[in-house]
Amino acid sequence: MFKKTLHIGTSPHIIGGSSTDQIMRNVVFALLPVAAFAVYTFGLSALLLLITALASCLLTEYFLNRWIDKSSPLSDWSVTITGLLYGLTLPPHLPLWMVFVGGVIAVALGKFIFGGLGYNVFNPALVGRAFIQAAFPVAITTWMAPFLPDRFSHIPGSTLTLPFLKPVYDITSGATPLSLMKFEHHTTDTYNLLMGMTSGSTGETSALLILLGGLYLIARKMMNWRIPVALLGTVYLISTVLHWSNPDIYPGGLFMLFSGGLMLGAVFMATDMVASPITPLGATVYGIIIGIMIYVIRVWGGLPEGVMYAILFGNAVSPHIDNFIRPRVYGTGKQWSKS
Amino acid sequence: MLFDLLKKNPTFRHGIHPPQFKEDTRDKPIRHFPFAPVMIIPLAQHIGKPSVPVVSEGQEVTRGQMLARADGFVSVPMHAPASGVIKKIGRVPSISGKMVPGIFLEPFPGSSQEVLEGKPVKVETSTPEEIINAIQNAGIVGLGGAAFPTHVKLKIPEGKHADTLIINGAECEPYLTTDHRVMLEQAPDIIQGVRYLLKATGAARAIIGIESNKPDAAENLRNHLPPDLPLSVQVVEVKYPQGAEKMLITAILGREVPSGGLPIDVHTVVVNVATTAEIGRLLPHGRGIQERVITITGPGIKKKGNYWIPIGTPLRYILEQAGAEEDIDRVFMGGPMMGTAVSSLDIPITKGTSGIVAFREEEARKKDVKIYPCIHCGACVDACPLFLNPSKLGILAKFKDYHTMASDYNLMDCFECGSCTYVCPSHIPLVQYFRISKLVLRNEKAKAPHV
């Protein structure tokens, strides 16, 4: 005898591909080597910073979602990405209380008020960083030298600054390759940039590990390759052409590619699926727009680095790109018009 | 050699690659199925007007005898699947879950496989109209699953013409191997059917489209190609939904059927390969269709295979004969991508049933797939064979903005292949939303006062 009741549902009766939580989890995996190298480069301060960034983002997501009665808000892993990315964009010895405040802002104002996962207009991690940039402009542009000998035994004084007090910097500070270039006209060797031997934000220094993480996600079809390719290609092309026209003023293409937050931004930030266009052509245009913005801010703007603002700008125009760039629907358009 | 490797089979753009699951049945020759103790024959097994009974309760009928006549042009007659007695004319259970008008027929014990002969229709001596009429009289509908009366497609509208006839042997649905077996075992019938179809449509040539996962079928048909017939075989890439009319036309001819239009708008007529074989087999004997080939498969079936099954055989009887596991939990008619899940086993197979797939509980689509919000990943955009934006359509459907869906995002073009739902990582029931949206719009249109 067969069962009396059968399960019904409408087709398709099979599903394939990866699920959203799998995609998010894999982005976290791709970021782990970058985070590990950050801790290796900057020591205890980077470790504490990443833990604080993660904790503030996860706690904010958890409590806000509990407040509106959403169950298991952390199970989709998206806020883990936000926490990690946010931490990786900050200077390694930023006071922890600032890190915490920025993390709360990132999730609450960057994600939650828009409606949570899938509805954010901007990349939440960058919203958090933008807040820090506006609120603590000095702290976020004070850099720490890499590979200090006592980095695993000594916690920098600034890291443990009490809330609302001015941080005291007790360790060797370092200038980032971009500020060296901008203010002292000194370019850093590309090899050092690639391998992460320089000063900079916690997770931006090793271009190589970031690229490997990106390649992993592209191979697993969990990242739209067009965005980083268009973005990096645009920056490289503009800087190479201008460098060739006047090498004294304009830095070379490779230096531009591997310095600052470009690699981290192009691979892990601009590719935030929610805040980027959905069509292949739209994604390419979006990458090009961000690339141009980065170059303009870096070379002609007042700041040494422009990746964050450029991506936030890209996020803002992304819905409009989707509105304007639409693939031609099958069987429509002039050539197929019904006669 | 290298050139051969680089040469790709033609196809359409986008689409998906679901697992095939065809290995279980593709090598199983088609076998005959016994008659069930009772046959259930709905009067509407096709798209169009239901047929009208011409027999009465208690009457004895012969296999192949007409039980109900066509009601108008977009309708087809029904024929007796077995010799027996008409038990009742009334309401019968159907796949929709509703009771529909139909006939119960009780076959004689030991009823023979003999079929009533009718007036033969020869290709050489018949006019296109006569062939089209004969196809209608044979009760033939699209056997690929759509069940649209075939003769309606063959009647070329005034002012239009057909230059190419495409025989659809793509069979892109996972699990199904009926068309595959038909192409291996019934090549002469297919060739004969093509002769009728070419004459009926006036098309200059015919092309059989076959997915490259059936090389033996393509080979077999090529060996049977008669020199006097403008018929060729075209192998196309394995991709779902390659068997959709529009996609096959684009793959083989590079033509796009206009939005809201029909294949004839690009001078093409598409007929399923099993339908073609049926035409080639029935018309020379003036017979009506009383059985069809069905793949019975899935993890819940012990005797998987391809069978000739009399139309009207109850599903429960088929599953018992095919050794279905007792704990089957999901049964659907057709393939897993576009087939219909049945709510009861006491319904009959009809002319449009191309497969029966049974899943046990653990193999069925996981019940607790978590639905996440759309993360804008674009997988659906890359899958949609019509270049629609299922992500945007899904968001609009959620807000019940059906009119914008139709006016700005071509909702009505969607033929519900389900590729978007298959790939969605957030498991959003996109195609299900679209079905509801289309239904709402259609009902609205029907209710609107006519001017």
Same domain, B256 and B145: yes
Of A14 and B151, the structure prediction assigns the larger pLDDT to: B151
Residue among B372, B391, B423 with most chain A CBs within 10 A, to mutate: B372
Q: Does A20 touch chain B (CB under 8 A)?
A: yes
State what percent of residues in chain B have pLDDT above 90.
86
DSSP string for A163-229: TTSPP---S-B---HHHHHHHH--PPPHHHHHHT-S--STTTS-HHHHHHHHHHHHHTT-S-THHHH
Domain annotation covers residue B327: no
Q: Does A13 touch chain B (CB under 8 A)?
A: yes
Under a CB-based contact definition with an 8 Å cutoff, are residues B379 and A19 in contact?
no
Domain annotation covers residue B353: no
Task: Report chain B residues whose CB lies below 8 A from the CB of A116.
Answer: 373
Domain annotation covers residue B86: no
Measured between alpha carbons, how far is residue A54 from residues A83, A112, A285, B109 in Å?
A: 4, 16, 32, 75
Test A6 with B369 for CB contact under 8 angstroms: no
Domain annotation covers residue B64: no
Under a CB-based contact definition with an 8 Å cutoff, are residues A276 and A318 in contact?
yes
Test B259 with A336 for CB contact under 8 angstroms: yes
Residue among B173, B239, B256 with most chain A CBs within 10 A, to mutate: B256
Domain annotation covers residue B73: no
pTM: 0.91
Per-residue DSSP letter, A162: P
Q: Does A227 touch chain B (CB under 8 A)?
A: no
CB nearest B413 (choices: A115, A283, A331): A331
CB nearest A118 (choices: B374, B386, B422): B374
Same domain, B262 and B392: no
CATH number of the structural domain spanning residue B186: 3.40.50.11540
Same domain, B281 and B395: no
Q: Does B363 touch chain A (CB under 8 A)?
A: no
Per-residue DSSP letter, A278: S
If you measure CA to CA, which chain B residue comes closest to A277?
B376
Which residue, of B253, B285, B317, is where some domain finishes?
B285
Within its chain, how far is the Cα of A227 from the centroid?
Answer: 13
Q: Does B423 touch chain A (CB under 8 A)?
A: yes
| Domain boundaries, position B245 | 9-24+127-285
Q: Which of A187-201, A220-234, B205-219, B302-316 is predicted least confidently?
A: A187-201
Task: Report chain B residues whose CB lies below 8 A from the CB of A75.
Answer: 370
Distance from CA of A182 to the nearest CA of B (A): 37
Same domain, B143 and B277: yes
**A residues 233-292 near B, CB within 8 Å?**
273-276, 278-280, 283
Q: Does B321 touch chain A (CB under 8 A)?
A: no
Domains in chain A and their CATH numbers? 21-324 (1.10.3430)
Which residue, chain included where needed, has tokens 């031609």? A328
Which residue, chain included where needed, has tokens 């695993």? A152
If DSSP codes are grouped into helix, strand and coil, which group holds residue B358?
strand
Q: Smallest Cα–Cα separation from A198: which of A151, A146, A262?
A: A146
Same domain, B145 and B278: yes
Per-residue DSSP letter, A28: H
Same domain, B258 and B149: yes
Same domain, B274 and B396: no
Dump pLDDT digits (tens) for B27-68.
999 999 999 999 999 999 999 999 999 999 999 999 999 999
For residue B180, pLDDT beyond 70:
yes
Give mean pLDDT, residues B382-406: 95
Spatial neighbors of A332 by CB under 8 A, at least 6 apart, are: B258, B259, B410
Distance from CA of B217 to the nearest CA of A (A): 27
Domain annotation covers residue B358: no
Task: Report chain B residues whose CB lies below 8 A from the CB of A15.
Answer: 365, 369, 421-422, 424, 427
Measured between alpha carbons, how far is residue A250 from residues A189, A241, B11 in Å?
A: 16, 9, 48
| Amino acid A338: pLDDT | 43
Domain annotation covers residue B267: yes
For β-strands B60-61 and B84-93, DSSP reports them as antiparallel
Same domain, B404 and B274: no
Same domain, B147 and B271: yes
Same domain, B385 and B276: no
pLDDT in single tens digits along all 339 residues of chain A = 787 788 888 889 888 878 999 999 999 999 999 999 999 999 999 999 999 999 999 999 999 988 887 766 788 899 999 999 999 999 988 999 999 999 999 999 999 999 888 899 999 999 999 999 999 988 888 888 888 888 888 888 788 887 877 777 776 667 788 877 777 777 777 777 777 777 888 877 788 999 999 999 999 999 999 999 999 999 999 999 999 998 888 888 888 888 888 999 999 999 999 999 999 999 999 999 999 999 999 888 877 788 999 999 999 999 999 999 999 999 997 554 443
**How many helices (H) does chain B have, and how many strands (E)?**
14, 17
Spatial neighbors of B433 by CB under 8 A, at least 6 apart, are: B393, B394, B397, B398
CA distance A211 to B213: 38
Spatial neighbors of A89 by CB under 8 A, at least 6 apart, are: A125, A126, A129, A201, A202, A203, A204, A261, A264, A269, A308
Burial class (CB in 10 A: 0-12, 13-18, 19+), A166: exposed
Q: Smallest Cα–Cα separation from A135: which of A99, A161, A108?
A: A99
Beta bridge partners, A234, equal none
Q: Which helix (H) or strand (E) holds B42?
A: strand B39-42
Dump pLDDT digits (tens) for B336-377.
999 999 999 999 999 999 999 999 877 655 556 788 999 999
Burial class (CB in 10 A: 0-12, 13-18, 19+), A233: middle
Q: Smallest Cα–Cα separation from B335: which of B178, B216, B182?
A: B178
CA distance B240 to B383: 10
Task: Report chain A residues whose CB lies below 8 A from the CB of B422.
Answer: 12, 14-17
Residues in chain B: 451
Which residue, of B261, B285, B309, is where some domain finishes?
B285
For residue B84, pLDDT beyond 70:
yes
For A219, phi then psi, to 5°, come to -60, -35
If you measure CA to CA, which chain B residue comes closest to A20?
B425
Six-digit token pair at B405?
A: 């869906």
Test A15 with B365 for CB contact under 8 angstroms: yes
Number of domains comprising chain B: 2
Residue among B11, B14, B96, B259 with most chain A CBs within 10 A, to mutate: B259
Burial class (CB in 10 A: 0-12, 13-18, 19+), B76: buried
- Interface predicted TM-score (ipTM) of this complex, two decimals: 0.89
Same domain, B276 and B408: no
DSSP strands (E only) in B178-321 = 205-211, 231-236, 268-272, 291-297, 305-310
Q: Does A323 touch chain B (CB under 8 A)?
A: no
Test B329 with A6 for CB contact under 8 angstroms: yes
Peptide bond into B373 cis (omega under 30): no
Name the packing angle between helices B187-201 and B178-185 (round to 10°). Answer: 100
Domain annotation covers residue B300: no
Which residue, of B231, B263, B285, is where some domain finishes?
B285
| Amino acid B364: pLDDT | 55
Test A327 with B387 for CB contact under 8 angstroms: yes
Distance from CA of B289 to the nearest CA of A (A): 28
